[in-house]
Each structure stands twice: as C-alpha cells, then as structure tokens.
Amino acid sequence: MNRKQKLARLQKLAAMLRDHHMAHLKKIAAQREATQHALDQLSKPSPPCADASLFRANQSHLLWANEQKLHLNRALATESAKFIEQRQTTARYHGRAEALAQVLARLGNDKC
C-alpha cells in the first residue's frame, strides 16, 4: 500500500469520526433544546384567583413549578457544559478530516 492509499484510508476514518462526533453534538443540542422548552413552559405565569381553595392549589402548583425549575436549570447547565465540550471535540475532528482532504487533494494534483 503506497502513501496515497494510506492517506485515503486515514481520511475516510477521519470523516467517519467527524460524522460520529457531529451526530453526538446534534443529540446533545436536541436534549438541551428540549430542556429549555420544558423550562419555558414552566415559566408561564398563572392568573390570580379570588377563591381560597383555588389560591391554595395555585400556591401548591407554584411550589412544585419552582422545584421543577431548579431541577431543569441544573440539567440545562449540565447539558450546556456537555454541548460546549462536544462542540470543541467536533471542531477538532472536523479540522483533522479537512486537513487530510487537503493533503490528498495536493497529492492528486502533484500526480505522485
């Protein structure tokens, strides 16, 4: 196997790794978006009520909603950190695949 063939196989492997990391990044982004959507749904204010029983029920719901917001905010922070890390990893693998593609293009133009 000559140098050009080895580089072509390496470039295919780099492209597969790039695609794998890109798919993982999209998955994390979708999870993050779903968590943000759930948080946005909880943030909608409820109308005030004059009835005492409805007021108590509303207060109970607000307490539950605040606990859910705390949980979702923690999850969103974790997902955002994972997204940032994965974005950096994906960029590194993308750069490797592009560099190998450029080297192969140069070798193709040089007719080695």
Sequential pLDDT tens for the chain (112 residues): 788 899 999 999 999 999 999 999 999 999 999 999 999 998 677 777 778 888 888 888 889 999 999 999 999 999 999 999 999 999 999 999 999 999 999 988 875 4
User: How many DSSP H helices and E strands does the chain contain?
Assistant: 2, 0
Gyration radius (Cα) of the chain, Å: 25
Q: Where along the chain do its domains lie?
A: 3-110
Q: Is the pTM of this model over 0.85?
A: no
* Cα 25 to Cα 31: distance, rounded to the nearest angstrom: 10
